[in-house]
Amino acid sequence: MQRIVVLAGGVGGARFLRGLRVAAPDADVTVIGNTGDDIHLFGLKVCPDLDTVMYTLGGGIDEAKGWGREDESFRVKEELAAYGVGPGWFGLGDRDFATHIVRTQMLGAGYPLSEVTAALCARWEPGVRLLPMTDDRVETHVAVDLDGERRAVHFQEYWVRLRASVEAHAVVPVGADQAKPAPGVLDAIAEADVVLFPPSNPVVSVGTILAVPGIREGIADAGVPVVGLSPLVGDAPVHGMADKVLAAIGVEATAAAVARHYGSGLLDGWLVDTVDAGSVPAVEEAGIRCRAVPLMMDGPEATAQMARDALALAEEVRA
């Protein structure tokens, strides 16, 4: 059986994984999820990216938004607001609250996040093994200028409250350097036949996972094809504001620049969209095999084909 490891953020990672399951129904897929977006709200531990993967693959996602539960209501949030208790800018729905209550209760009882995630997945049966990148606390902070002062804000405050409308001067995965990969992460990488980077945010999703000591090294040393798909199409993020956080780390917002940022020491193959076919030579000059294929996840078949193309490129670089 083919063993595939995927480093995933939220919406981009989850949608790709759905296609991968169609493309490789018999594969054994381990997802290493980003936890740098995690935040404590109302006394509850919220893990947006893990939940997006879990809900998307488990059939509970709000398809239109790409995150949160389908058929959601926001009455708890209204009641909290009536008490003057915020933040109001983070959309936690009533059904979603249950997930965070269960998680927080289990963490309080002493279970590590990896075991909590497995327990939540027992309900959702995502069809992949979903592991948090670490059981330790990592929080991505963004340095911004607010009211004439340089401040570090939580990634969610930057992304959701400020809508990435101000310049990001730095992006720091606080705690990552002290974090240990969660149980199973390094073993899954060492035993993988292929490692895939879905079209997730290269800075605050894949970049954060790679910042946990041991993960980048494990992937580079595994000696198996590592193939990524560009989250930038036509030199712009398909959704979201990846260009803002790329600028903060000094990387141009182009498919080729993101490939060079990962580098040939990590990446063996890279897929760009057909509209970016002109950047294929530049990526190959950097020592990374590159192909231009459609990369818009606008339907199950298109997304499955992206996964097939990624696996085909992996076989090409293996040969």
- Establish if 142 lies at the interface with ligand GDP (CB under 6 A): no
- Establish if 205 lies at the interface with ligand GDP (CB under 6 A): yes
**What is the smallest separation between the CB atom of 199 and ligand GDP, expressed in angstroms?**
3
Partner touching 237 among Ca ion, ligand GDP, none, CB below 5 to 8 Å by kind: ligand GDP
- Establish if 10 lies at the interface with ligand GDP (CB under 6 A): yes
Out of 9, 33, 132, 173, point to the residue binding ligand GDP (CB under 6 A): 9
Which region, judged by CB under 5 A, interacts with Ca ion, from 18-26, 36-44, 258-266, 293-301? 36-44
Q: For every residue of the chain, which 3-state class applies, written as one string? A: CCEEEEEECCHHHHHHHHHHHHHCCCCEEEEEECCCCCEEECCEEECHHHHHHHHHHHCCECCCCCCCECCCCCHHHHHHHHCCCCCCCCCCCHHHHHHHHHHHHHHHCCCCHHHHHHHHHHHHCCCCEEEECECCCCEEEEEEEECCEEEEEEHHHHHHHCCCCCCCCEEEEECHHHCCECCCHHHHHHHCCEEEECCCCCCCCHHHHHCCCCHHHHHHHHCCCEEEECCECCCCECCCCHHHHHHHCCCCCCHHHHHHHHCCCCCCEEEECHHHHHHHHHHHHCCCEEEECCCCCCCHHHHHHHHHHHHHHHHHHHC
Which region, judged by CB under 5 A, interacts with Ca ion, from 20-28, 37-45, 73-81, 282-290? 37-45
Out of 4, 8, 9, 45, point to the residue binding Ca ion (CB under 5 A): 9
Which region, judged by CB under 6 A, interacts with ligand GDP, from 142-150, 188-196, 220-228, 238-246? 238-246
Which region, judged by CB under 5 A, interacts with Ca ion, from 48-56, 65-73, 212-220, 303-311? 48-56
> Closest CB to Ca ion belongs to which residue?
10
- Establish if 309 lies at the interface with ligand GDP (CB under 6 A): no
